[in-house]
Structure 1
């Protein structure tokens, strides 16, 4: 366009009349440059805009009646009209005092369809293309749509997909557009190789990266899909793995993906250089911020001299120092770690330098790549907004929070210069991933319902709003039923306050004498105290009904006869739970602590009046890094006392086969005779457990099959239930029970499947045992 304009302007001096013409190719003619500079039109005449309308054309012009216009205005007007996509040709000329704009309208798309697609559904493809029904037919846009469709298929492992188009004219400038797709075969990962690794085996490193070798279940996991983005994410995962284990000089020399057309498979090769392993040397804090000394900040440092060097601990120290200094009134303070290597001793001394930093403000937070998750769901994870002081440590913290949501396969936060030297643009690039899961739970109750199954569907990012919803239903072969609905809003009224409810209904047959029905409702609110500590308040309502259905109750003990005859029963209570969580991974934790402590008071109406306190803590530690042997120890305890009245049977604690494996649910603790001994529960319990898990020999690490050995012990004792014949109560003492066993855990594409076999080694004669225990938690 501009080349044509320059040529025509060069000959304009010899032209005989004044006029302006813009051809469909965009070339603009000024017959007289002087006249053009002084040209003023009184009206604009639009021709050919039968569908779009003359006003729509005029609104896209930079020329207006009564105002001078020039070469640039003509250029801009033509570009703007073409940019709408609604015109295939544009011509502009001047006739006297009238600007004549002649357009030829592009064809309109009547319908967009997809043919040949089986692996990627229509709604998914419709979300990635930009051509829309009732929109213009535009060749450039369609080529971009073809590229987007190929990218969507590449994400499923079908990088050889072919996409063509078919156009069916309908008359009157309208067409149907079909994207014809030849999906081709799915590419796979034949092998993943590591070169230069000495400290860690190939199997251990393969477990670190997200890309996995193809196997018979890869069509479900999609973890054998090659992409450059995933390869870069794997590189970063390897860096963090080594940096957090003392290898501060770790480098990735190269990462290559070789494609074999004959087999349609990729081979990935990571060429790495581990370098030496370092421990922390002397750790100090120096501050130039007025009123804040290094000695005051030293206690915030989590890096300790003599410990293995960890980049994660350095980052945590920087964040703690930055938060403290900012809260002291210095929002621009900058924390810079300076490492001092001692190659002779293989140590890195760290000096944290705290200074005022440059004054910079956030001009805007720009979010890209979120096709499903709403912008505000991402923005609320930042402790800053537009106009606030820029703080790099807060950016890092926001990135960690976004990754912890589980909504995104990748999160990257970068910065760009703003409109002035003291303005910064924060750019957040994310990629949405599937957040739905389907679960199946299974169990076996020896004396009651037999085999029990439960299915559930949950969504952690409901409608892209970050909300959690779960629906479940289950049943047993003996007629038991259960239904549940849970919902959580993680940011109530814009505050970091997670509120929600849980509704449940269950029907079961405890034995041949009566049926049991339970309805419960829980309202809850959770607020963070620190990054690792949170508190949850609940209101709990439960309605229980024991129905004899005309059965003979003579075999039941007196307390159980009272349950049946005097129901239904109501329990109304409030509770508070403190949760401490430092786990490095909620799916397969290797390091960290998960602990809860709950207090509950019942008596807000209903039939129960008590105070309960109970809790449990489990500590994970990696016993052998390269062998990936994970050890854990756990302890739990609880106590309940009545408030002004005796406890009901359902108020006391019972222990299940998750607490002490090898025993049935309610299989230990005080029991009362009357036929078969009926469990009373107990007022006090203690449990301890130790376990080690390890990759199963003979299976690839990335298959996710692990073995387990464990030992459980505990006791349940005490009784505050009114029984007419105390002499028939057994198990009221604090006798210890213990079991040992082995397990098999599979991190399958459906979730974590576990089978345990436990043998009680310490038990009472009247205890009820259960050797096998299994369960499934399925995800997709």
Structure 2
């Protein structure tokens, strides 16, 4: 606004006595008529208006005919007229009994265009500027729009972009505005340097932070865009990382970026002070809450004396105690950790103090920043709502849950005072990120040749937090189709309910096809933050004569007796338990992932069995400085009939899914006719284990995300419950089952994993070192997925 309101107030006394006219431009000029202390006018005259109706001007003037006014009323009228955005200048004076309001109208914006932009589309730029068609032209707003466009280009790594404006007057007091844009080159990050780090190498710390060095494919990831706020967030990521690895005294001394204008590149330097590494000392719980037995709470603690200090373990312990205490009827209880450092022994003793806490309530939860994810998807991750007792621990838990969804690039939760002293407003600020994936996978078998799969996944369907996936696969003898859907909050509860519809065709069998089609209905519920339970119902129809082979084949090949040519229905219920403490599901470095499932078939249909399976994988850092990760995986399964002998396909069929280097259904018991080995007969029991070590690929920049894997797999599949009568027939050679004894197979191999901009890509080569002569091998496997 051009009106100098402060100047008007400063000279008000002089104006009233000397007859000075106040103008919107903040200029004082002599008037022919003095304004009295309590002047009265009988009319208001509007001058200079062309498009704006005079009544609009009069309605924004606080002075009314017949009513006394003073200089404060003039000041307020000028401000109100300028606030309409319709005028570039306003002058108010008194002549005789008339109040003269002289205005200069702003031009009207006729059209806004952008020239020279390619990296940012017109629609994107329209969202960042204030100037809009049919709005009033304002020079200050125009310059603010220029800066907003520059900031938009800076956000995509083009900090040297320049923006100028061109005005083209048109008839009727209108003007066209053209933003002339020179996008310039991408401003890259040529290096990220760490100073002061000893325990962890530069490459390991570079993996921790979100800012990345520019590489060949950085134009796809956009992670090499320098942003000061992003660098501050990286400082917090480093603190969290060090605090969780025992370095409680860690500090970021400085972080800054220097721009080489000649090369248009940033060099980021982060200086840290690691301090000593601590372990946990004594762990205690104290309480001022009457009647609270602290010994009952000790079993909830994640912190253990002698373990490496971890701030995350402390936080998890606080969450567990707070939940239990709140459940005991103390909603305002506050758990505060008190640390006691022993510098000589490098230990930190922790005492958890349980107090009543301050009574405060959540007045409102405000959600901002989400452009795609719906508000209710965010709200449901909170264990508290408007009107509930405020609990900082539950807020931290909600933040952790929101981050683990994978929907958001950043999550920030802050508080501000409410309308009452005991009211708190929660402000949840999030930034959406892509949640779709386009995946391809495949492999090569010495028996089946090449195979490929294609799937499309969306983890946040329509911003509702729903999961949907479609997949197709094609091999020389196989075709697969499937659609899956999951609603993570079924009926408003924290129940993940969903279904899978599928159809699989397999013509690799000798003399017939197998077609499976059916539906799975499933539901899962969390028991704790790490443990969940699930229940699933499967209805599957198997057709063993998919393309109507010659009926004589069924009579001459005893194998068809084992599969009971025709349709077969399996109706089963599966209960499962899953445990997951992985630090990162994409590239886990620490933690355990385990699952146990028990399936009962016999709820109608033709199949009658009980099948139990279990698998667990443990990840551990072998070298923090070199980022070498080790993992151990074990698995087992057993199936037993609850009626007659098992159908052949009720058995386990294993291959590269448990021992790389073997084909699908590649090892285990097999049918034999004379000296010829036929189809896999399946087994009733299996055990398997794997050892794997992965490390960044040497001599290659770690910013490329390439990792080398060395592994060995071993396992056995044995036992068979096919009835002997099914293996014989009149007038043909009887079949037998070989390999049903406990015989181990093993393989060794190497692999390459690439955390590409398109998603993780994996390829491996495995060589079976222990196998049977009737096994089928598949030495090469690969797969990839990408986000969109």
Normalised TM-score (structure 1): 0.88
The reply to whether residue 495 of structure 1 matches residue 493 of structure 2 is yes
Q: Which residue of 2 aligns with 1:728?
A: 736
| Cα drift, residue 524 of structure 1 | 2.8
* 2:757 corresponds to: 749
**C-alpha distance in 1 between matches for 2:110 and 2:741:** 80
Measured in 1, the distance between the counterparts of 2:186 and 2:770 equals: 55
Bigger Cα displacement from structure 2, 278-287 vs 128-137: 128-137
**1:12, 1:33 within 8 Å by CA — same for their partners in 2?**
no
Query: Which residue is equivalent to 1:447?
Result: 447
Shift of 1:624: 1.9
1:553-572 map, 5 Å: 558=557, 561=560, 566-572=565-571
User: Would the alpha carbon gap of residues 10 and 744 (structure 1) be closer, same or farther in structure 2, given more than 3 Å must change?
Assistant: same
Match of 2:719 in 1: 718
Alignment of 1:35-434 (within 5 A): 35=38, 79=79, 82-83=82-83, 85=85, 88=88, 106-109=106-109, 111-169=111-169, 171-172=171-172, 175-434=175-434
Deviation of 1:585 after TM superposition, in Å, equals: 0.4
Deviation of 1:216 after TM superposition, in Å, equals: 1.5
- The answer to whether the 8 Å contact 1:664/1:768 transfers is yes
Distance in 1 (CA, whole Å) between partners of 2:557 and 2:106 is: 87
- Measure, in 2, the Cα distance between the counterparts of 1:364 and 1:606: 53
Deviation, structure 1 residue 68: 9.7
Match of 1:6 among 9, 30, 34: 9
SS at match of 2:300: coil
Paired position in structure 1 for 2:693: 692
Tell me, which stretches of 5 or more residues in structure 1 are unaligned? Answer: none
Aligned to 2:469: 470
Partners of 2:553 and 2:636 lie apart in 1 by 33
SS of residue matched to 1:206? helix
Question: What is the rounded CA distance, in whole Å, between the counterparts of 1:127 and 1:549 in structure 2?
Answer: 58
Question: What is the CA-CA distance between 1:368 and the residue it aligns to?
Answer: 3.1
Partner of 1:525: 523
Measured after TM superposition, the shift of residue 218 of structure 1 is 1.8
CA distance in 2, matches of 1:111, 1:681: 73
8 Å contact from structure 2 (residues 509, 679) kept in 1: no
The DSSP-based 3-state class of the residue aligned with 1:613 is strand
Q: Quick check: 1:297–1:321 contact (8 Å CA) kept in 2?
A: yes
Q: For the residues of structure 2 that align with 1:341 and 1:623, how far apart are their CA atoms?
A: 27
Moved more, 450-459 or 617-626: 450-459
Deviation at 1:242, TM superposition (A): 1.4
Q: Which residue in 2 is equivalent to 1:456? A: 455
Distance 1:262 1:14, change over 3 A: closer
Query: Conserved in 2, the CA contact under 8 Å of 1:46 and 1:54?
Result: no
Q: Match of 1:429, SS?
A: strand
Q: How many residues align?
A: 773
Report how far residue 131 of structure 1 moved: 4.1
Distance 1:565 1:397, change over 3 A: closer
Task: State whether residues 233 and 410 of structure 1, in contact with CA within 8 Å, keep that contact through their aligned partners in structure 2.
Answer: no
Residue aligned with 1:394, SS: helix
* Distance change in 2, residues 1:695/1:7 (3 Å): closer
Residues 1:758 and 2:766 aligned together? yes
Q: 1:300 to 1:561 in 2, by over 3 A?
A: closer
Distance 1:356 1:362, change over 3 A: same
C-alpha distance in 2, partners of 1:432/1:27?
53
CA deviations on 1:23-81 (whole Å, 9 max, x unpaired) are 47799999767547xx89999999969689968995x8889999998876765665456
Contact 1:590 1:621 in 2 (8 A): yes
Cα RMSD for the two superposed structures? 3.7
Change (3 A) 1:64 1:12: closer
Q: Is the 8 A contact 1:2 1:27 kept in 2?
A: no
SS of equivalent to 1:404: helix
Give 3-state SS (helix, strand or coil) of 1:299's partner.
helix
Show the counterpart of 1:769. Answer: 777
Q: CA deviation at 1:552?
A: 4.8
Q: Do the aligned partners of residues 356 and 338 (structure 1) sit closer, same or farther apart at CA in structure 2, a change above 3 Å counting?
A: same
Q: Which moved more, 1:636-645 or 1:348-357?
A: 636-645
Q: Distance in 2 between matches of 1:53 and 1:733?
A: 101
The 1:118/1:581 distance shift into structure 2, 3 A limit, reads same
Gaps of 5+ in 2: 729-734
1:665 maps onto 2:673 in alignment: no
Report Cα offsets for 1:629-654 as digits up to 9, x if no partner: 21111122222334434443333321
User: For residue 748 of structure 2, what is the aligned residue in structure 1?
Assistant: 740
Q: Does the CA-based 8 Å contact 1:457-1:470 persist in structure 2?
A: yes
For residue 510 of structure 1, the aligned residue among 488, 508, 511 is: 508
2:732 aligned residue: none
Deviation at 1:160, TM superposition (A): 1.1
Task: Please give the alpha-carbon distance, in whole angstroms, between the structure 1 residues aligned to 2:627 and 2:581.
Answer: 19
**Contact map agreement 2:712 2:747 (CA 8 A) in 1:** yes
Are the equivalent residues in 2 in contact too, given 1:381–1:398 (CA < 8 A)?
yes
Q: Is the 8 A contact 2:92 2:100 kept in 1?
A: yes
Encode CA deviations 1:287-323: one digit per residue, 9 max, x unaligned.
1111114333333222122221111111111222222
CA apart distance, 1:410: 2.1
User: What per-residue deviation string (whole Å, max 9, x for no partner) do you get for residues 387-446 of structure 1?
Assistant: 222211112111111211222222222222333332223232323322232222122243
Query: 1:343 and 1:745, CA in 2 relative to 1: closer, same or farther beyond 3 A?
Result: same
Kindly state the Cα deviation for residue 531 of structure 1 after the two structures are TM-superposed: 0.8
Q: Is the Cα contact below 8 Å between 2:677 and 2:774 reproduced in 1?
A: no
Counterparts in 2 of 1:125 and 1:447: CA distance versus 1, 3 Å: farther
Deviation at 1:554, TM superposition (A): 6.3
**Corresponding residue SS for 1:295:** helix
Distance of 1:437 and 1:593 partners within structure 2: 25
